[in-house]
Amino acid sequence: MRVVELGHVVLYVHQLERSVHFYRDVLGWPLVMDGRTHEPPLPIAAFSGANERTHHELLLIEVGLDAAPVPRGRRVGLYHFGLKIGDSDDDLRRALERLDRHDVALLGATDHGMTHSLYVVDPDGNEVELYIDVPGVAWDDPALWSDPAPRPLRL
């Protein structure tokens, strides 16, 4: 067996409506299936990127307000997942403006050398990295991994 690519992420969410708004309207991720419109309605929604490489990349499943929240601080489990949102720092600047218009707090902005990243939290406490690949980086260069210390990103 050999993993070819990450296919999709599935998240449990407290309120589907709120999470659909965040991923579709704030982040601009195309909604490809809305279970609320099915008969009978299903508490799910699926998203897929603009490149339409697969059936879905994110699936949200509503579990209700009484479900336990994502624990804070150091813990085992998901730290964050990354969404490539463009190809240049201009794309990140536009993302910052959009996040600001929607009152989404920025957790951080990091220059990883190979990527430039913004970090936000979704309505249920899941951390999301919004990033671009730095143009001209040679991904097979071992030196790329020799200094993994993140640096503040200046946009």
Q: What is the pLDDT of residues 45-86, one digit of tens each?
A: 999 988 878 889 999 999 999 999 988 889 999 999 999 999
Give the position of tokens 């992420």. 9
**Is the pLDDT confidence value at 115 over 80?**
yes
pTM: 0.93
Residue 24 has pLDDT above 90, yes or no: yes
DSSP for residue 22 = I
CA gap 155, 153 in Å, rounded: 6
As a residue count, the chain comes to 155
**Spelled out in words, what is the top-level CATH class assigned to the domain 80-148?**
alpha beta
Split at pLDDT 50, 70, 90, the class of 26 is very high
Question: Tell me, which fold does domain 9-62 have in CATH?
Answer: 2,3-Dihydroxybiphenyl 1,2-Dioxygenase; domain 1 (3.10.180)
Residues 85, 119: Cα–Cα separation, whole Å: 12
Q: Do domains 9-62 and 80-148 have the same CATH topology?
A: yes
**Cis ω before 152 (30° cut-off from 0):** no
Task: Report the pLDDT value the prediction gives residue 28, as an integer from 0 to 100.
Answer: 96
Which structure tokens are listed for 30?
Answer: 């195309």
- The H or E element that residue 26 is part of is none
The two tokens of residue 95 are 């993302």
The residue extents of the domains of the chain are: 9-62, 80-148
- The CA radius of gyration of the chain, in Å to the nearest whole number, is 17
As given in the structure block, the two tokens for residue 107 are 């957790």
Q: Give whole-number Cα distances, 52 to 11, 29, 92, in Å.
A: 20, 11, 22
Q: Which two tokens stand for residue 118?
A: 């913004």
- 140 CB-near residues (< 8 Å, 6+ apart): none
Residue 27 is classified by DSSP as S
